């Protein structure tokens, strides 16, 4: 035990302790200086700039933001974008928050707006084929109208809301009118049970009937907006234009 005490006394002499303390203080002081002074100076002088996020901003504004940070805006290309209008930034390279040197070029991809698509010809097609063609051309299905037309075959598209060959935005919905053929005195009631209200409306109209009163009922057995009852049983015969009342499910209004 005495040997250990003597060894420690020889190792930790007052002079060595003083030197170690001074060295530790110097290291701490340098770390504080580096963090508080040298790094801000280094960044300020353009050696480590964080690229700002300029996506979804107009090109002119994005350019001003980049130049204010000591960076250079460069048009890197154009791209169709359904969400951003013409002239807005879609992509940037380098990406936001990346550290770069002052004067670094930031390449910007600019939106040229929503793409335009050519309207296909739908008249003369069956309803099913017309809907498939609308989808295959990247357009949306709009309203489907049904009319009795003595001089037209049933289930044939007789008109469309946009002229063939027109160029329209991809978000455009195409409406069509479908012939129900020659009107008859009586029609067959379709069964719309377990179908959504939108599908039920379409099938009722296609049958030459109309939707009457709609009653909403809370149900845990079926998804919301599902038809669970109809006033005239499917398969029954009724007069053309008769109203069909529906009961449709809804979510429980209570929390």
Whole-model pTM over 0.85: no
- CATH code of the domain covering residue 238: 3.30.10.20
Q: Are residues 78 and 106 in the same domain?
A: yes
Residue 43 forms part of a structural domain: no
The dihedral through the CA atoms of 124, 128, 129, 130 has a sign that is: positive
Q: Can you tell me whether residue 136 is helix, strand or coil?
A: helix
In the chain, how many domains are there?
Answer: 3
Residue 21 lies in a domain: no
Query: Do residues 134 and 96 share a domain?
Result: no
pLDDT at 41: 53
Residue 191 falls within a domain, yes or no?
A: yes
Is there a single domain that holds both residue 209 and residue 150? no
Q: What is the pLDDT of residue 23?
A: 72
Question: How far is C-alpha 78 from the chain's CA centre?
Answer: 20
pLDDT number for residue 255: 46
Q: In terms of domains, do 175 and 201 share one?
A: no
**pLDDT beneath 50: ranges in the chain:** 43, 46, 255
What is the per-residue pLDDT for 143? 94
Structural domain includes residue 71: yes
Domain that holds residue 241: 186-255
Residues 192 and 246 in one domain: yes
Residue 44's pLDDT is 52
Residue 38 included in any domain: no
User: Do both 124 and 176 map to the same domain?
Assistant: yes
* Residue 206 and residue 233 in one domain: yes
* Measured distance CA(235)–CA(213) in Å, rounded: 20
Burial 48-78 (b: 16+ CB within 10 A, else e): ebebbebbebbbeebbebbeebebebeeeee
């Amino acid at each position: 035990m005495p040997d250990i005490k003597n060894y420690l006394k020889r190792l930790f002499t007052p002079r060595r302790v003083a030197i170690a303390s001074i060295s530790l203080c110097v290291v701490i002081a340098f770390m504080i200086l580096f963090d508080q002074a040298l790094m801000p100076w280094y960044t300020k002088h353009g050696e480590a700039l964080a690229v700002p996020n300029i996506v979804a901003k107009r090109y002119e504004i994005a350019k001003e933001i980049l130049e204010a940070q000591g960076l250079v805006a460069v048009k890197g290309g154009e791209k169709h974008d359904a969400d951003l209008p013409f002239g807005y930034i879609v992509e940037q390279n380098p990406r936001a928050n990346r550290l770069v040197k002052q004067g670094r070029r930031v390449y910007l991809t600019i939106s040229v707006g929503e793409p335009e698509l050519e309207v296909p010809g739908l008249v003369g097609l069956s309803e099913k084929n017309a809907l498939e063609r609308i989808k295959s051309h990247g357009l949306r299905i709009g309203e489907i109208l049904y009319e009795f037309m003595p001089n037209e075959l049933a289930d044939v598209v007789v008109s469309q809301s946009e002229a063939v060959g027109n160029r329209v935005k991809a978000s455009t919905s195409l409406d069509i009118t479908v012939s129900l053929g020659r009107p008859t005195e009586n029609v067959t009631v379709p069964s719309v049970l377990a179908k959504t209200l939108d599908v039920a409306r379409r099938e009722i109209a296609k049958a030459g009937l109309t939707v009457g009163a709609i009653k909403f009922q809370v149900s845990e057995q079926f998804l919301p907006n599902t038809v669970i009852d109809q006033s005239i049983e499917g398969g029954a015969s009724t007069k053309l234009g008769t109203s069909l009342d529906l009961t449709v499910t809804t979510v429980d209004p209570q929390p």
